[in-house]
Amino acid sequence: MQRRAFLHRLVGVLPVAAGTSSLLAFGRRAFALGGTLPSLNAPAPDFDLPGIAPAADGQALETRLTLADFRGRWLVLYFYPRDFTGGCTLEARGFQTDLAAFQAADAAVVGVSADDADSHADFCTSEGLAFPLLSDPAGTVSRAYGSWIPPFSQRHTFLIDPSGVLRASWVAVRPSGHSREVLSALLELQANP
Evaluated on CA atoms 40, 44, 49, 51, the torsion sign reads positive
Task: Please confirm whether the linkage preceding 151 is cis (ω < 30° from 0).
Answer: yes
φ, ψ dihedrals at 63, nearest 5°? -145, 175
Give catalytic status of residue 88 as yes or no. Answer: yes
* Choice among 60, 88, 129, 173 that is catalytic: 88
| SS3 category, 37 | coil
* Beta-bridge mates of residue 153: 148
Contact call for residues 124 and 133 (beta carbons, < 8 A): yes
| SS3 category, 124 | helix
Contact call for residues 135 and 120 (beta carbons, < 8 A): yes
Largest pairwise CA distance in the chain: 67
The crossing angle, in degrees rounded to 10, of helices 86-97 and 117-127 is 60
DSSP letter, residue 155: S
Residues involved in catalysis: 88
